[in-house]
Structure 1
Amino acid sequence: MSKDKNTDKDPFLRGARLRARQDANAREMHHDAGRATTEEFFQALVAAVAVIAHADGRLELAERRTLVEAFTTSPAMAGFSVAELAQELAEHSRAYGYDPQSADQRALASLSASKLSGEERQSLLRICHQVITADGMVHPVELGALHRVERALGLAGGSL
C-alpha cells in the first residue's frame, strides 16, 4: 500500500497513468464510433434485403447463401456474426408475416433515415443485386423492390 501512495505523489507516474487512461479512452471512443457506423450499415443491409426478399414471398436458399457470403466477406461487417444476421432477418420476417405493408414501409423508412456514405449505399445496392440474381431468376416484383430500395437510399436512376 505504501508503494501506491508513493506513486500517487510522484507527478511523473500520475501523468503517465493519466496519459495511458486517455489513450485507452480515445481507442475505446474510436472503436465505438466505428461500431456505430458498422451497426448502421448492418441495419441498412438487413432492411434492404428484407424489402427485396419479401417482395416475392421469402428469402430463397440461394439468396440466403449469397447474402451470407457477401456478409462474411465485407470488411464493414467485422464485429457481427452470421447468427446476428439471421436473428435480424428473422425479426423482419416476423414483421412481414404480421403486416407486410407496414413492415415494408418501416424498412424503407429506416433506409431513408440512414446516414450512410455514397460508397456504403452503392455497396448495399451491389449486395441487393447479388441477392436478386442468386436464384437465377429475376422476378418483376424483385425489380420493383430494388427500385424502392434505390429511392429510399437516394440512388434512384440505377446508378450501378
Structure 2
Amino acid sequence: MPKTKSSDDDLFLRGHQIRALHELSGRNLQAEAGRARAGDYLEGLVAAAAIIAHADGRLDLDERRKLVEVFLASPASEGFSVAELAEELADHMRAYSYDPLIAQDRALETLRTLALTRSERQAIRDICHKVIIADGLVHPVELGALHRIEMAFGIESTGEER
C-alpha cells in the first residue's frame, strides 16, 4: 500500500515554511524596532516639552494645544496616541510638583541618553521653540530652558550640531 507524504516529510515545503517564518519574524522585529524608535522620540519630545513648560512655572492652554498639534504632525504620532502623550506629560508634571530641580535634571538626562538621530533631535528642538512662542509670550527663562535642551542634545544655539 503506497504511503502518502505529509507536508512534514517534504523537505521543500518545510524549507519554504521556515523561510516564511523567518521573514515574518524579521518584519516583526522591524516593526518593534520602529515602535521603540518612535517611543524614544516620544520620550524625548515629552521630556523636552516638560522642561519648557515648567521653565516659567505653568503649561498654558496655548502651549498644550501647540504641543498636541506638533505631536500629531510628528513621527511619534504614528506609533502612539494623544492619550499616551498626555500620560507621559502627567508623569513629568507629577515629578515637577515634587521637586522641580530634580525633575528637570531627570528630563535633561533622558535627553542625553536617548538614541535619537540628528534630525530627530533637531525636530524636538524646533517643536520646543514652537511651544515657547505658542502663548505669544517669550520668557527669558523659557529661552534658558531651550538652551539647556540644546546642550543636552549637543546642538549649538544656532541650530548646528556639535
TM-score (structure 2 length as normaliser): 0.92
Q: How does 1:12-31 map to 2 (within 5 A)?
A: 12-31=12-31
Identity of aligned residues (%): 56
Q: Match of 2:102, as an amino acid? A: S
Residue 38 of structure 2 contacts residue 75 of structure 2 at CA under 8 Å; is this kept in 1?
no
1:76, CA displacement in angstroms? 3.8
Gaps of at least 5 residues in structure 1 are none
Equivalence for 2:62: 62
Residue 123 of structure 2 corresponds to residue 134 of structure 1: no
1:58, CA displacement in angstroms? 1.7
What is the distance in 1 between the residues matched to 2:54 and 2:140? 13
Equivalence for 2:45: 45
Q: Match of 2:12, as an amino acid? A: F
Q: Match of 1:19, as an amino acid? A: R
Residue 150 of structure 1 contacts residue 158 of structure 1 at CA under 8 Å; is this kept in 2?
no
What is the distance in 1 between the residues matched to 2:59 and 2:15? 57
* Pairwise CA RMSD: 1.2
| Secondary structure of the corresponding residue to residue 104 of structure 1 | helix
1:77, CA displacement in angstroms? 2.9
Q: Match of 1:115, as an amino acid? A: A
Residue 85 of structure 2 corresponds to residue 114 of structure 1: no
Q: Deviations over 1:17-54 (max 9, x none)?
A: 11110010000111111111111111000000000000
What is the distance in 1 between the residues matched to 2:59 and 2:89? 9
What is the distance in 2 between the residues matched to 1:62 and 1:126? 17
Q: Deviations over 1:67-117 (max 9, x none)?
A: 111111113431100000000000000000001000000000111112211
Residue 55 of structure 1 contacts residue 141 of structure 1 at CA under 8 Å; is this kept in 2?
yes
Gaps of at least 5 residues in structure 2 are none
Residue 41 of structure 2 contacts residue 116 of structure 2 at CA under 8 Å; is this kept in 1?
yes
